[in-house]
Structure 1
Amino acid sequence: MQPRFLLIHVICLLAVIRLAKTDLVKDFRPPATPLLLLNPTIQVWSKGDRLNDVPTSHWIESQNMSLVGLIRINNGSKILRFMGVTDESIEPMRQIQVRVQPTQTLYVFQSEEVELNLTFIQPAFMHSLELSSLPLGYLIHSVRSLSSEQEISVQIYIEISADFVVNSLANDQVVWEEARPGEHRWQSYSHAPFQTHGDRIKPDWGYFYVASRSRFLRDSTQVNASLSRQAFIQGTFNLPQRDDSQGPRSVQNGYPASSFQFDYGQMNQNSNSYSSFLVLFHDEQLSINFFSNYQRPYWTKIYTNAQQLLDAAFQRFSDIQDEANQYDKMLIDRYTNVAGDEYATLLSLVHRQVTGACVTVWNDERQEAWSYMKEQSSDGDVSTVDVISPAAPFFLTLGPEYLRRLILPLLAYSNNETYVRYKLPWTPHHLGDWPVCSILSQEQEQMPMEETGNMLILLAAIAQRQSKQIDYLQPYVPLLQSWADYLNDSLPDPENQLCTDDFEGPSAHNANLALKGIIGLGAYSILLSMGLGNQSQADVYMKQAVDFAYAWTLLDWNGQDHFRLQYNASDSTWSQKYNMFWSLVIGLDDVLFGELRIRDIELAYYEKKMNRFGLPLDSRGALAKLDSSMWIAAMTRGNTEQRQQIINNLYTFAHSTPTRIPLSDLYDTTTNEAVYFTARPVLGGLYALDLLAI
């Protein structure tokens, strides 16, 4: 690890920000607060207003990942709870602030005697391949006295339950060991990589580490949580002796946990603030089964073993903490200047939600890094193309190379570089069931035009942001041409098929889907002009795209004031034409639609269709998507009033929805309630405004 990780282009972005007061909304109430999102299976959230209101948990309903924090003041005269819940009747400490930044979540608690600051940090810096790939986080606490009259004593207790490493509390067992003093390791007794797969899973393979090397660490133990907790509450300065049986034991049998006690001795108002931190790290050992190619986490390419990585995590803590502060400030300043503090607050909330759904591996066969994305909560698929695509504004803004790595496994599968032969003329939907890539062509959820348009658009957008570096695409020239030819043969009138809004069911003559295909064809022309073909070929495909765009206006115009949901639908139907956003991303808006005024006509019509909490997807109901709604905001360009109205609607949903789950991307614009989807990486689409601003 290097002491500074900001790339030159990131520093340059900071330099162009206007000097202005920028910050997050002070009283923002997240629907759920991200704490540690190390990868798709280790995800810790707080789903209450305060960190000590509810147990900390996974995004999966009723699946705890339990963190407990207690503070003892004046040798037990006062015991307060600042994190999680316990069976014991312990008064909660007063929480006075929670602040969610891109890579950090910060809490402030107070009693009459003490102020306690609690910070969760993840090095999810998108310009750093190494750091963004680490399934590692820090839990930091600092205390200072508020007492001006006398010295007080302070001890801190933090507990991490073994439920981090089991998929089923009822059936799975755990084993444990202490590798070094203050360094605990847990694992599922079954420890069988890839045997458990799908959406609603927690990790039952690999090793989970939690460790502290603080000079204030008085004691640590691995024993039933109730025993160590009671010892702390009763004022014992040493925790119960570690249970050396090492299991295996059901988590429900006494709830074994790692417990740490920090002793700060006597302090007063003139004393310095004292702090310590824990490192939490998940060593999956194997991350992805890519058609029987077992792929290791990327960090294993850099570090010999988990112990070496842990050593580096402690040695570089100060550098990473400084980097997190700089990185977060730079992004918050930038987002605020793009569209205000509500926009900055939303983007800060979803940063780790996006990165936490991804893993980066080392592909031994290719000798290169690959990345994968999990379709959280809606299916559990590996690298769903129409999940990567809506998330893409996040990556195109903060790390185009990361997005390119997400595309590589899909290209390899589509090009028959695996033992499973892909036999369809369009882009696949996904690779398998997380974390196992093994799907057959006929098992795909077919979205021919949606996924084909997505893939070509993403490849063009990446190339534009990587100085036209497309050598890696040379082996795929025939494949990309076959995809473009599929679009060419299917436009301008899509057959009955699904689009990304598959919860609405399939539809024929879908106008918004046709726009995706038209822009995808234009994107292929861009790739040809960059060197995948010649300019004459590029001109042919671009002319086809322009002709299809003109035909689209004739087929879909309702004759009065807007364009319809489907070509053959009634004149009163309508839909968000959010796919036009992508023509702005790759610079084809003027070429394809400049003289047609589609965007201006549609935006004016949407103002008539706003519900109390936002703009529905279309005339079929009241549901809205956060990602595509922000794309509409990005399409407004100079109409800042309409743009801010959309941002305010999305912020209001996040701030006040009664549905307390990690931010959903699907909600009812009449009730403000979320609809099922939770913790999904598609909310990288909220970065649309930021993407068009740089």
Structure 2
Amino acid sequence: MHPLALAAALSLPALASALSWTATPFSPPSYPLAVRSPYLSAWLPQGSGTALNGAWPEFWTGAILGWAGFVNVDGSSYSFLGTPAVPSATFQQATQKSAEFTSTQSVFVLTAGGIDLTVSFLSPVEPSDLLNQSIPFSYMALSAASNDGSSHTVSVYSDISAEWVSGDDSLTVDWSTTTGDLIFHQVQLAAQAEYSEIDDRIQQGSGYYATLNTDGVTYQTGEDTVVRAQFISNGELANTEDTNFRAVSDDWPVFALAHDLGTVSGTSDTVVYAVGHVRDPAIQYIIADDQLQPRNLYFWSQFSTVNDLLSTFLGDYEGALVRATAFDAQVKSDASSISSDYADWVALAVRQAFGAIEFTVSKDSSGNFNTSDIMVFMKEISSDGNVNTVDVIFPSWSIFLYTNPEIGKYLLLPLFEYQATGQYPNGWSIHDMGSNYPNATGHNDGDDEPMPVEESGNMLIMTLSYVQATNDTSLIADYYKLLDQWTQYLIADSLIPANQISTDDFAGSLANQTNLAIKGIIGIRAMGEMASLAGNSEESSNYTSIASSYVTQWQGFATSSDGKHLTLNYNNDSSWSLTYNMWADKLLKLDLIPDSVYEMQTAWYPTVDAEYGVPLDTRHTYTKTDWQTLTAGIMTNTTVRDMFISALHAYASDGENNVPLSDLYYTTNGDVYEFQARPVVGGHFALLALQSAGSSSVSNATGGISSHSIDASSGSRLDVRHAGAVLGVVCCTAMAFATIL
């Protein structure tokens, strides 16, 4: 960003103060603005309160994304978006009156002279329409309303900078402007690097800024201060293009669009902008024989050009808004049946969770898109950038169960298909599909991060939960050998886990982990269900019997000597942890763990509750948002369940943090420990996932969006009866177990 603007941005934290506007439902650590994919991820940092024109929007890493906005009212200009410095022009700051977020929208109202300007950011979340969900664009909509009963001449302006297309501002970009039924700017790196990132920013593809070409629209490209001064002074742009292609930071090129709203006496028409980032191909994926397959974003199967895509996307704004509003209302209604705090909590998670995934298809030998070959890829944002990390998909799983379980299937397919080729050498489930997004290139050397019990248990649990939600047994039929292989590993190593890491790898490795062991045991029991569905009754009986025997022994190993709580690890009476993996027993309706264990844990957690929740375990004072929500789901009374949710709500709304919601924070003061913008916040839907599965621990259960499954090829809703019946079991052969040292 221009040095003067950067200086203004850097001074902002010191100026942050108590809110002077209404925040509904609360002021989050960071507002999602345009959050649609790992590379379209724009946020407004908050801290103790920052207006829309009090900071630059940022990529999730904290890098500035130049996104500026001005409104000209009766010849006077006001800044409403970003913190642009324009030394050659005079303007004022619009005054923010309110800010609100829902599951899909962030809406700000600012006063500028005699009008109130509503600025609405909509990042559609359309889980029932995979084509729409695959489109990497978001909306910003502007409308003006007279606030004094008088008429006012109004024009609005917005631009984006070249900062949207690279993680290195010293690199050269080029750009173009296209006019017709719509006007759009396109900007990209002059020298691109396919499948390559710098500071988590893809160095491939193009950024776009677009609007419909209606009466009164003008455009301009060029140096930030020059273009902005043109609008501030004249209320319109010059319809000129700067063709001096240069580095992002060389006179900061911006790409601007302005609209003359005419005379406003009531409420103006709505002006809509589309912002996005498109690349092709999107992912490289390893297939058989160590070959790499380029995969394309799903929307390309229906749109041949970005022009067509943008025209459809902008033309669909009103429809998209209606669908988004209905989605928001459904989520709020379902979550409010638990509590108002919970409704707020899940709303903040939606765009963040969906913003980490991309929907792809392959091409056949003739170059045609194969829409029957859908795969979804997830970036492990902010931790290490892996592709489809199993223990990141697992905590995210709840939101997909709630909205559309088919998305979960498409997330698992890359993992299943790769391991079915036999190229992964280990006997347990792989940890991830690739070390660096968007390279889903596998681990033929077997040197992925080793979490054998964790990932094998996760895969078995998620597969069965998908089957129960949809009645689709194709994953069992197609990958039974793999599922059985992972089960054999769990039989050998889950009751008494070796010294290994779990998903909470930041906490360190540990032998005999109580919570890890129960995940493996539930995984074995889940395989018993899947073996039965596959018609393998003898294997089903064997696995079911083993799991039952294991859980009895686990209970003895893991219960403290005073009988008050489960331990962090066996024979460590002074230790305890969040036993969030027990949630899977409830989700799958297995009734594997005795009720007394749930009751014991429910009685225990209030005794170790801190100001901002229950710590992850006795080794540290930090905790995880996803695991607390899963733990809340296994509580046997609403009081303790709501204790967890209220603490999480307090953490999110305390004004102490300014990054896209972190899932790892200190329970003592609510400060972020590390991580931000990660998709694991999908786990905040754990209570709704239980309700949708008909397996809530408490009595106030209702249905939700996921009472339907979606046929991705047609977009139609299909009624689903959950397949979760308890299957008959018979005795199995006795097993010999190792002695705990």
How high is the TM-score relative to the length of structure 2?
0.85
**More deviation in 217-226 or 113-122?**
217-226
What is the correspondence of 1:212-251 to structure 2 with a 5 Å cutoff?
212-235=211-234, 237-239=236-238, 241-245=240-244, 247=245, 249-251=246-248
In the alignment, which residue of structure 1 is the partner of 2:724?
A: none
Partner of 1:114: 115
Q: Figure out how many residues of one structure are paired with residues of the other and give that number.
A: 649
Q: Which runs of 4+ in 1 moved over 6 A?
A: none
Q: 2:679 aligns with which of 678, 681, 684?
A: 681
Question: Are 2:573 and 1:574 equivalent residues in the alignment?
Answer: no
AA at the equivalent of 2:73: I
Question: What is residue 542 of structure 1 aligned with on the other side?
Answer: 544
CA contact (8 A) 1:385 1:454 kept: yes
Q: Write the mapping of 1:368-387 to structure 2, written as runs, cut at 5 A.
A: 368-387=373-392
Q: 2:737 maps to which residue?
A: none
- The residue that corresponds to 2:258 in the other structure is 261
Among all aligned residue pairs of Structure 1 and Structure 2, give the percentage whose two residues are the same amino acid: 28
Secondary structure of the structure 1 residue equivalent to 2:570: coil
* 1:336 lines up with 2:336 in the alignment: yes
Question: 1:662 corresponds to which residue?
Answer: 660
Measure, in 1, the Cα distance between the counterparts of 2:224 and 2:408.
42
Structure 1 residues 491 and 349: CA distance shift in structure 2, 3 A: closer
Contact conserved, 1:657 with 1:674, CA < 8 A, in 2?
Answer: no
Q: Contact 2:379–2:386 at 8 Å: present in 1 too?
A: yes
Mean Cα displacement is larger for which, 658-667 or 208-217? 208-217
* C-alpha separation in 1, matches of 2:330 and 2:608: 36
Q: CA deviation at 1:185?
A: 0.9
Amino acid at match of 2:378: M
Q: Residue 464 in 1 paired to residue 459 in 2?
A: no
Q: CA deviation at 1:598?
A: 1.1
Question: Residues of 1 paired with 2:357 and 2:639: CA distance?
Answer: 35
1: distance between equivalents of 2:437 and 2:236? 45
SS in 2 for 1:552: helix
Deviation track 1:443-499 (CA, whole Å, cap 9, x = no partner) reads 2000000000000000000000011x1124423221111111110111310001010
1:435 lines up with 2:434 in the alignment: no
The letter for the 2-side match of 1:281 is G
1:413 equivalent to 2:411? Answer: no
The structure 2 residue matched to 1:558, chosen from 545, 560, 572, is 560
Tell whether the 8 Å contact from 2:661 to 2:677 is kept in structure 1 after alignment: yes
Shift of 1:130: 1.1
Q: Do the aligned partners of residues 375 and 600 (structure 1) sit closer, same or farther apart at CA in structure 2, a change above 3 Å counting?
A: same
Q: What's the TM-score once normalised by structure 1's chain length?
A: 0.91
Query: What code does the residue aligned with 2:277 have?
Result: H
Relative distance call for 1:397 and 1:237 in structure 2 (3 A) is closer
Q: CA deviation at 1:623?
A: 0.7
Aligned partners of 1:394 and 1:685 also within 8 Å: yes
Q: Name the structure 1 match of 2:271.
A: 276
Question: Aligned in 2, Cα 1:564/1:185: closer, same or farther, shift over 3 Å?
Answer: same
Q: Which amino acid aligns with 2:351?
A: R
**Corresponding residue of 2:585:** 583
Name the CA distance, whole Å, in 1 between partners of 2:524 and 2:247: 55
Cα RMSD between the aligned structures?
A: 1.7
Query: Runs of 5+ in structure 2 lacking a partner?
Result: 1-21, 287-291, 365-369, 693-741
Distance in 2 of aligned mates of 1:240 and 1:226: 16
The aligned runs of 1:93-242 (5 Å cut-off) are 93-148=94-149, 150-170=150-170, 172-181=171-180, 182-196=183-197, 200-235=199-234, 237-239=236-238, 241-242=240-241
**CA distance change for structure 1 residues 541 and 259 in 2, over 3 Å: closer, same or farther?**
same
In the alignment, is the contact (CA less than 8 A) between 1:214 and 1:276 conserved in 2?
Answer: no
Does 2:528 match 1:525? yes
Query: 1: CA distance between counterparts of 2:283 and 2:620?
Result: 39
Aligned to 1:67: 67
Distance in 2 between the 1:397 and 1:233 partners? 47
Tell me, in whole angstroms, the C-alpha distance in 1 between the residues paired with 2:214 and 2:419. Answer: 54
Contact 1:228 1:240 in 2 (8 A): no
Equivalent residues of 2:179, 2:213 under 8 A apart: no
Alignment map for 1:504-515 (pairs within 5 Å):
504-515=507-518
**Structure 1 alignment gaps of length 5 or more:** 1-23
Given that 1:297 and 1:359 are in contact with CA atoms closer than 8 Å, whether structure 2 keeps it comes out as yes
Distance in 1, matches of 2:494 and 2:259, equals 66
Is the CA contact (8 Å cut-off) linking 2:157 and 2:257 kept in structure 1?
yes
2-structure distance, mates of 1:267, 1:51: 23
Is 1:476 paired with 2:473?
no
Measure the CA separation in 2 of the matches of 1:657 and 1:183. 37
Distance in 2 between residues matched to 1:494 and 1:369, nearest whole Å: 36
Equivalent-residue separation in structure 1 for 2:647 and 2:515 (angstroms): 23
1:204-228 per-residue CA deviation (whole Å, 9 max, x = no partner) reads 2112221111525431112111111
Which residue number corresponds to residue 593 of structure 1?
593
Give distance in 1, aligned partners of 2:520 and 2:450: 15
Q: Distance in 2 between matches of 1:153 and 1:657?
A: 38
1:642-689 residue CA offsets vs partner (Å, 9 max, x unmatched) = 111111100110101412100000000001101111000001000011
SS at 1:50 equivalent:
coil
Q: 2:15 aligns to what?
A: none
Output the CA distance in 1 between the equivalents of 2:517 and 2:482: 21
Q: Matches of residues 332-371 of structure 1 in structure 2 within 5 Å?
A: 332-337=332-337, 339-364=338-363, 367-371=372-376
Q: For residues 579 and 542 of structure 1, do their structure 2 counterparts lie closer, same or farther at Cα, with a shift above 3 Å needed?
A: same
Distance 2:358 2:351 in 1: 12
Note closer, same or farther for the CA distance 1:25–1:138 as it changes in structure 2 (3 Å cut).
closer
C-alpha contact (below 8 Å) 2:33/2:123 kept by paired residues: no
Partner Cα distance (1:72, 1:577) in 2: 56
1:606 Cα deviation after fit = 1.0
Q: Which residue of structure 2 aligns with residue 398 of structure 1?
A: 403
